Amino acid sequence: MKRTVTNVSAYMALSMCVVFFFAGSKLFKPITAIENFLKAHSRIIKYITLGILGAGYVAYFIAACWLDFHRAIALVVLTCVAVFFTVYDLVKKYKGDSIKRIFKPAIRLVGLLVAWLAVDTSKRPEQLVSFGGVCLFILGIFIFSAHRHAVRWRTLFWGLGLQFVIGLFVIRTQPGYIAFNWLGAQVQTFLNYTQAGTSFVFGGLVEAGIFAFQALPIVIFFSSVMSVLYFLGVMQWVIIKISWIMQITMGTSPTESLSVAGNIFVGQTEAPLLIRPYLKDMTKSEIHAVIVGGFATIAGSVMGAFISFGIDASSLIAASVMAAPCALAMAKLSYPETEESKFKSEAEIKVDGGDEKNILEAASAGASTSIGLVANIGANLIAFLAILDFINAALRWLGGMVGYPEITFELICSYVFMPVAFMMGIPVEESFTVAELIGTKLFLNEFIAYEKLSKLKNNRLNGITEVGQYISVRSEIISTYALCGFANFSSLGIVIGGLSSICPSRKSDISAVVLRALITGTCVSLVNACIAGNLKLAWLKNHSKKAQLERFYMHYRRNFSRFFNDRHSFELHFTINAIS
């Protein structure tokens, strides 16, 4: 009986397979025909689809601008950027060689810019000091250059020229100042979304103003976003564009240009990952340039934490962008190229897109990767602040033996680096205060230095005017540029360990140039600050008015806010921004 049932079941299954085979062959014919049609006309379908999407976006763009242009400013900016880079790609593809030929004689234009800068600065003696600072730092690097006879002046002048043009646009022109302030405001708004996650995880601890629960989560959020942008190819695309500009103007190799351009957005150990396959074949000068780029800039994730301190976002963004061409220029002045580079064209360099399979994995990987960075930041702050307190206690004890118990590490730094601060364009009465910040950044780290700068800024806004307890707006901006970089002694081990793990065969070369790169990276930040101090800060009059109004606002909040509701407070703050 069982055998009969089994035979019947097998017969029915076989019959169904035969039926489905013949029916399926007819059923799938239309699907196969559609697939063949799509393959044969894929190009036309692609253009039609892009045309429909483009027309839809244009309609959406026009409608958004028509309904409320002010609200659509962000959309306008993003659209202009996308159009610019699309045109840029087309021009580069068909006219790239012509552009390179045009840029070669343009060195004369850079010379004219420098001459104009000298004449313009001579009209304002206070800016002349900053111009002298630029010359002094460049001269110092040249004197201690590894190969003075091999210096390529084209690289130096183009690097400083690009840095100056960016600074001129950001600081001197009203559109540039407005654009970077708008960008800084958008970054601040974007970083505020971190509170949604931190409030859920930490609850009321976020409102307590504790550093670990306010600033460090921003690093995690920003790292996750950067990982997503990297997965989508946005980061590689932008970095390649920037590196191409530096390569054709400054004459640097594509590998070092790519790494330094990457340092605008990522850290000193992450940017070299862009060129990981090529590190083993790079020259010693190129490796030095890669390390200098890491020391002279800050990562986007860490920048978010500094912005949370209250540091001016537009100045941080401008400083990091300006530092890239200057880093390449100063690196090639400190350690000129004496070997033949194996990399001549950007076509030889391929940028990896990462191992993540989808956007969610990329976001998760970015957040997970930042755990080590956050732990490193927290651990270093605990260690260095404790060491600083111990050093100050020891110095007070030693000073007390001879009648000077007020001696501290900060006081020593204020005297040692006072000439440096003065040459950046800081007024004499504030030079000692800024010198403390420079020394703190070099011997400890930039986190502690920016935290101190934030306190000085808040003291100014709160109306505190005692010498050494506050900092003026001009000095604050210059200091922001001077502190923008990872160049400190605690980063030496990070760089050696990070790059050696990527390319163990070059560990000896990395160790040989890392100290020189640290000094060069520090000088890049100082030259950046000199450029900021050298350019006419015409908007500081209005900015100072805003600072005075902000002081009044803080005084109002402290003394009269209990008589009014939050809406009156908001309206007063809005009026301050509108007036200034």
Q: Domain ranges in the chain?
A: 104-120+127-379+483-538
Can you give the C-alpha Rg of the chain in angstroms? Answer: 29
The pLDDT score that the predictor gives to residue 576 is 39
**Burial class of residue 238, CB neighbours in 10 A (0-12, 13-18, 19+):** middle
Mean pLDDT taken over the chain: 79
- For 476, the token pair is 């604050």
Is a pLDDT exceeding 70 seen at residue 64? yes
For 271-284, letters b (16+ CB in 10 Å) and e give bbbbbeebbeebbb
Is a pLDDT exceeding 90 seen at residue 523? yes
- What distance in Å separates the CA atoms of residue 125 and residue 134, rounded to the nearest whole number? 15
Q: Per residue in 229-244, pLDDT tens?
A: 888 888 888 888 888 8
Q: How many residues does the chain have?
A: 580
User: Quick one: angle between helices 313-334 and 153-167, nearest 10?
Assistant: 170
Is a pLDDT exceeding 50 seen at residue 518? yes
Full-model pTM: 0.76
Share of the chain above pLDDT 90, in %: 17
- What distance in Å separates the CA atoms of residue 140 and residue 334, rounded to the nearest whole number? 9
Quick one: which of 356, 378, 383 has its CA closest to 368?
A: 356
